[in-house]
Amino acid sequence: MADRARKLYRQLQDEASRQFIDAWHRAGRGETFYERPLAFESWDALARFLTGKLIGSFRSFRRMLARH
């Protein structure tokens, strides 16, 4: 279990590092952006958050982005 937890921790650190570097590069290019990461403590918490109405909104937004 400890090895698995260390592997997950390293993966999370790697992802956070990639996101930071990406934001650093975007800022260096003068891009403006706002990101607010969401984290859920469990799959059940995520499932409670993702209501049918919210998923429909995500799909509509994605279709709108694809058109532009």
Q: Please write the tens of the pLDDT for every residue from 14-38.
A: 888 888 888 889 888 998 877 777 7
The contacts found for 32-38 with CB under 8 angstroms, 24 or more apart, are: none
Same-domain status, 31 and 17: yes
Same-domain status, 27 and 50: no
Same-domain status, 31 and 45: no
Same-domain status, 68 and 52: yes
pTM: 0.46
Same-domain status, 9 and 33: yes
Question: pLDDT tens for residues 31-64?
Answer: 887 777 778 888 888 888 888 888 888 888 888 8
How many domains, the chain?
2
Alpha-carbon gap, residue 46 to 50, rounded angstroms: 6
Same-domain status, 1 and 24: yes
Domain of residue 30, residue span: 1-37
**Cα distances (Å, whole numbers) of residue 65 to 58, 60, 61, 68:** 11, 9, 6, 5
Alpha-carbon gap, residue 54 to 10, rounded angstroms: 31
- For residue 1, the model assigns a pLDDT of 59
Same-domain status, 2 and 27: yes
